Every structure is written in C-alpha cells, then in structure tokens.
C-alpha cells in the first residue's frame, strides 16, 4: 500500500471511529434514560442496567456503522479539502479515482469489521442482555445457552432449543424428577404453538415415563401442554428477524418452508443482513461529491447536517421499501437491494460529474 493510501485509510478510519463513539454515546443516553425507569424493579439496579447497555454495544455498533462512516468521511475529507490536501493530491498526479480507491480500502476494512460484529458477536450478546434484564426484573430462574433456553418449573426442567417468535418454538424437551431427584418423565416435541393462558399446542410428541425399571413410551401427533413458558418469557430471548445471524435466519426459513408457511419477511431480513455491511461502502461514496466538489472553507456544521439528512433519508426509504415489499409480495432480494442501488447510482452520477 502506498504512503498516500495508508494516510487516507488511517484518517478515514479515525474519523469513522470518532463519529461512531459520538453516535454510540448519544444513543446510550436515550437507552439509559429508558432503562432507569425500571430501576428498583426486582434486582434491576444501576449495575444491572450498565451491564445490559454494555452487552447491547455490539448491536448498536453494527447498526450505527454506515452512519458513522458517512459522518466520519465527511468530517475527515472535508478537513482535507479545507486544508488543500485534496488539491495537493490532485496536483501531484493523483486522480479522483485514486482518492476514491483509498477511501474504499478503508471502507472494506469497515465492512469486514461490521460483518464480523453483526454475524458473530451482536446476536448472542443481545440475547444475553435480554436474559440479564429479565432475570433481574422478574427474579425468575432462566439460563440462555448458545443454542436454546433452559427453565425450571418446580420439579420440571425445560429446554427449548429453537425460539423463532414469541408464540412459535421448536425442539422442546421436558425432564420431570421425583422427590428423590430421579428422572420420572421425559417429553420431547418437534414444535410448539402458544394458545393462551400458558397453554401450548405441541406437535410430534414423544413421552417416556420411567417406573420400576421400565420405560413406557407413547407418541402423539398433537397434544395440549401446560407450562410456565409464556410469550412474554419467550420474547425476552427472541431477537427480531433483522437482528438474527445469517445462519439462524437460514435455518428458520428452511423450517418455515418445510411447514409451508410464508417466508417473505424472513427472506427479506436474510438479504438485508447480507447487504447491510456493504452499505458502509455506499455511504463512503456518497460523501465524496459533498467534499471534493465543494469549495474550500465550508464549515463542519453544514457537512454534518448533510450527513445526518442523508442517513435519515436512507433509513426512511429503506424501511418504507421493505414494508412495501412484504405487503405486495415483491422479490426479497430486489427489495433489499433497491434502496442501496438507488443511493449508489446517485453517488456514482455525482462522482462522474466531478470529472
């Protein structure tokens, strides 16, 4: 990598980091304000609140990365323009695309970092945060594993391996002990749907009872099951589709397809998850025309306002297009790509005008 490339990459990364920290701090102020309303409920004190906010950090960082890249690049490249550094680069023979190449190298580093955080860190950290908050507030014993949820209800120990929505769970195991803590009964169900008042409709059920050194097994296609599990409890560890990892989304889409259910919402979330890290690159391209094509002496305030308006406008359009796509049954990949492609097309057109 050339010296100039290293310099631009370092500066863009530094600007993005500063913008990310500022946005994260601002976001946490609102989160802290909301959580302090529940201070004193159960064991939910200030320490638990701070732990909760800390565990939610990867999710916030992942979501704020495109906006931080836009604001950071506007700030850094704008400073270079005001200090005539960009002019010096152009005069020394560096083309417009040479400058953009250096910016895109920084963008690729941010894309890799964002994808790693969003795919491997944020989903599990968010689930742990929700469990911590729920246990502290309700004082109900519950353990969230890497895969599934453990609960205790008297002599029953319940394990739910897959939680998709508040009223839709799968691969349920229940172990019931006697007074001597010996296994007395075991239940296994392929899937469960919530009915009401802690009643679940289980499908493909296998029940094994252990008594006098014998095991009696019976199978049921469906059965009603009364359990301490309810949608509010399940909702504690249920992550929104757009926040699930690609692997979890893929597994759930397959699960829904096998049961002949609508998967449009989750396919859209899958493609959006795959595309989202690359929005950072688009945002960096968007910032270029507002810096390279604008005269020297523009202050920081207008540049930041431009970045905020672009970021807010993109989020509004992205959400609106996503909702319309689900309602009208449009192709999920097309819906996920459309806002980014429109933004990218506008950026490339503006850059072409700079030549």
Tens of pLDDT, residues 280-305: 999 998 888 877 755 555 566 676 67
Q: Do 285 and 279 meet the contact criterion of CB atoms below 8 Å apart?
A: no
Sheet architecture: strand order including 142-144: 142-144, 149-153, 156-165, 168-177, 183-194, 199-211, 214-226
Please count the residues of the chain. 355
Please tell me whether residues 182 and 275 are part of one structural domain.
Answer: no
31 in any annotated domain: yes
Please tell me whether residues 246 and 343 are part of one structural domain.
Answer: yes
Task: Give the tens place of pLDDT for each residue, 17-71.
Answer: 999 999 999 999 999 999 999 898 888 899 999 999 999 999 999 999 999 999 8
Bridge partners of 191, per DSSP, are 170, 203
Q: Do 238 and 131 meet the contact criterion of CB atoms below 8 Å apart?
A: no
Report whether pLDDT(240) > 80: no
User: Of 211, 236, 261, which residue sits at a domain end?
Assistant: 236
Structural domain span for residue 116:
3-139+241-354
Q: Do 158 and 152 meet the contact criterion of CB atoms below 8 Å apart?
A: yes
pLDDT bin (cut points 50, 70, 90) of residue 140 is: low
Please tell me whether residues 78 and 128 are part of one structural domain.
Answer: yes
Cα–Cα nearest to 269, from 316, 313, 326 = 326
Please tell me whether residues 162 and 232 are part of one structural domain.
Answer: yes
Please tell me whether residues 285 and 341 are part of one structural domain.
Answer: yes
Task: Give the tens place of pLDDT for each residue, 171-184.
Answer: 999 999 988 888 99
- Report how far apart, in Å, the C-alpha atoms of 258 and of each of 167, 261, 329 are: 18, 8, 20
User: Of 183, 215, 236, which residue sits at a domain end?
Assistant: 236
User: Of 179, 211, 236, which residue sits at a domain end?
Assistant: 236
Task: Give the tens place of pLDDT for each residue, 83-138.
Answer: 888 888 888 888 888 888 999 999 999 999 999 999 999 988 888 888 788 778 76
Q: Do 313 and 99 meet the contact criterion of CB atoms below 8 Å apart?
A: no
Please tell me whether residues 193 and 231 are part of one structural domain.
Answer: yes
Please tell me whether residues 255 and 183 are part of one structural domain.
Answer: no
């Amino acid at each position: 990598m050339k010296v100039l490339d290293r310099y631009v990459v370092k500066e863009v990364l530094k600007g993005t980091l500063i913008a990310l920290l500022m946005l994260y701090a601002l976001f946490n102020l609102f989160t802290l304000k909301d959580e302090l309303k529940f201070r004193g409920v159960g064991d939910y004190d200030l320490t638990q609140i701070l732990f909760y906010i800390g565990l939610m950090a990867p999710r916030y960082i992942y979501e704020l990365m495109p906006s931080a890249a836009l604001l950071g690049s506007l700030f850094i490249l704008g400073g270079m323009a005001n200090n005539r550094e960009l002019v010096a680069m152009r005069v020394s023979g560096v083309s417009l695309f040479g400058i953009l190449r250096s910016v895109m190298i920084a963008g690729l580093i941010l894309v890799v970092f964002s994808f790693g955080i969003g795919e491997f860190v944020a989903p599990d950290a968010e689930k742990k945060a929700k469990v911590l908050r729920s246990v502290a507030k309700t004082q109900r014993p519950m353990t969230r594993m890497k895969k599934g949820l453990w609960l205790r209800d008297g002599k029953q120990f319940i394990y739910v391996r897959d939680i998709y929505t508040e009223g839709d769970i799968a691969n349920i195991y229940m172990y019931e002990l006697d007074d001597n803590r010996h296994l007395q009964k075991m239940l296994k169900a392929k899937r469960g749907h919530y009915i009401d008042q802690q009643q679940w409709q289980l499908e493909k059920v296998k029940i094994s009872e252990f008594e006098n050194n014998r095991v009696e097994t019976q199978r049921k296609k469906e059965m009603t099951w009364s359990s301490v599990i309810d949608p509010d409890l399940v909702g504690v560890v249920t992550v929104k589709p757009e926040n699930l990892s690609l692997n979890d989304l893929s597994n759930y889409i397959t699960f829904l397809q096998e049961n002949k259910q609508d998967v449009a919402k989750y396919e859209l979330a899958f493609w959006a998850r795959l595309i989202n890290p690359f929005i950072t690159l688009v945002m960096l391209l968007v910032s270029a025309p507002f810096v390279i094509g604008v005269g020297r002496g523009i202050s920081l305030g207008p540049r930041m306002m431009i970045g905020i308006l672009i970021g807010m406008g993109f989020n509004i359009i992205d959400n609106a297009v996503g909702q319309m796509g689900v309602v009208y049954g449009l192709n999920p990949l097309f819906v996920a790509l459309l806002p980014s492609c429109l933004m990218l097309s506008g950026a490339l057109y503006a850059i072409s005008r700079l030549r």
